[in-house]
Amino acid sequence: MHVPIGLLAADFNLLYVWQRSTIEGKAIIVILVLFSIFAWSIMATKTVEMRRARALNDLFDQEFRGQKSVFTIHDRKVQVDGCPSFSVYSAGCEELDERVRQGPGLPRRERISLKALEHVKRVIEGEVARQALKLESGLILLAIAVSGAPFLGLLGTVWGVMSAFSGIAQAVAAGNQVDLAAMAPGVAGALLTTVAGLLVAIPSMFGYNWLVHNLRVHTVELDNFAQELVTRIEIEFLGDDEDPA
């Protein structure tokens, strides 16, 4: 039997395959669509957040290097929201300010002990870790999409194929003849879930790897800034091992 190519092209589309999918397959596809929406929103949000953080870090690093004293920016009561480097700097300066003051409202001492410096360093390191975790937040959903979407698609395909062959077996048992034309729509509908799973997982994989790479770059740059801040503090305030009287 000759079937016009135009008719085949018209029938072979996503709507046709969707209509042949089982209820279970359609439910899985809806879940995958939700996965895709969350994945794309996370990729867009984290991309904007990381680019903004990098731009603010670059500006703040330049400003910090141009100051003669560690406390210059801190004393100006500057606030830079969304800048990881500033958050590290602010946390370090607040702890340092407590260590160098002899009491509330009193002037700062010119030197601190090595022990006091270690406390400041731990505060700076803790803030670096918090900022890294803040940038990393949300990436777990991308990882779930990368690893889980193909398996959800495979589940829908196996379920759909099982349903298709079960229907064929019942038809044969009833004495009806079954050919490829009767079996193909059910198999095509079942394969749609695998396609949907891959369409979710592939972009999520590229986005996740790109974001993880940028996160590592941000973390290294933040560590470098923290080391530079500690070095400046050592140069300006490091005294003897014992606190001055």
43 pLDDT higher than 50: yes
What contacts 24+ positions apart, CB below 8 Å, involve 215-218? 215/50, 215/132, 215/135, 215/136, 215/139, 218/50, 218/53, 218/54, 218/57, 218/84, 218/132, 218/135
Retrieve residue 53's tokens: 């953080």
pLDDT recorded at residue 102: 64
- Residue 79 has a CB neighbour count (10 Å cut-off) of 8
Q: Can you tell me the distance from the alpha carbon of 126 to that of 190, in angstroms, rounded to the nearest whole number?
A: 50
Who contacts 200 (Cβ-Cβ below 8 Å, separation ≥6)?
A: 32, 35, 36, 39, 145, 149, 153
Who contacts 4 (Cβ-Cβ below 8 Å, separation ≥6)?
A: none
Retrieve residue 170's tokens: 């019942």
Q: What is the mean pLDDT of residues 165-178?
A: 66
pLDDT recorded at residue 123: 93
Higher pLDDT, 78 or 30: 30
- By C-alpha distance, which of 108, 60, 63, 70 is closest to 231? 70
Phi, psi of 113 (to 5 degrees): -80, 165
pLDDT per position as a tens digit, 131-170: 999 988 888 888 988 888 889 888 888 887 777 777 666 6
Domain spans of the chain, in order of start: 21-237
pLDDT recorded at residue 73: 86
pLDDT recorded at residue 69: 85
What's the pTM value of the predicted model, to 2 decimals? 0.76
8 pLDDT higher than 80: no
Q: Over the chain, what is the mean pLDDT?
A: 81
Q: Can you tell me the distance from the alpha carbon of 218 to that of 214, in angstroms, rounded to the nearest whole number?
A: 6
The angle at the Cα of 127, spanning 133 to 93, to the nearest 5 degrees, equals: 155
